[in-house]
Copies of this chain bind each other. A is one copy, B any other.
Amino acid sequence: MTAPDERKLTDMLRDVGLRPTRQRLALAGLLFAHGDRHVTAEELHREAAETGLSVSLATVYNTLNQFSDAGLLRQVITDGARTFYDTNTRDHYHFYAEEDGRLIDIPADQIDLGRLPPPPDGARLAGVDVIIRLRKAGA
């Protein structure tokens, strides 16, 4: 919960085999310094710019994808219009508020997914995504 210092971030990156470059450290700082977050590439890019770091959007995308491949982030697909990157890699689910495009974590223990059907034939289970879509209460 407390902001990881530069040293910790460096180690985190080394641990997953990524070089702790200036931009990766800075982006990791933005991502992991303040508890769980859901960011899009655009958002992180803007945020980086605001804190004085100049990174190209392409590098933000590359970095987010590298972090995801390394298991530091998890991608969340909602409506296909954009990809969210979730710093919470534990087992959990999501509310998705369609109008404002907001994503809200649902801890795993709040949904009881008993009795999943077995994976077909030669397939193994790679993950379970649960998205609860929300609309405004009216109508």
Question: A residues touching B (Cβ–Cβ < 8 Å)?
Answer: 77-80, 83, 95, 97-98, 104, 106, 110-117, 119-120, 122-137
Question: What are 7 A-B contacts with C-beta separation under 8 Å?
Answer: A110-B117, A111-B115, A112-B113, A123-B134, A124-B137, A127-B133, A128-B131
Main secondary structure of the interface of A (DSSP, over half): strand
Closest CB in chain B relative to A56 CB, distance in Å: 22
Copies of this chain, complex-wide, total 2
With the chains together, A95 CA to B79 CA distance in Å?
18
Given B80, B112, B122, B135, which contacts A77 in the complex, CB threshold below 8 Å? B80
Decide: A135 and B129 in contact? CB cutoff 8 A.
no
With the chains together, A113 CA to B83 CA distance in Å?
25
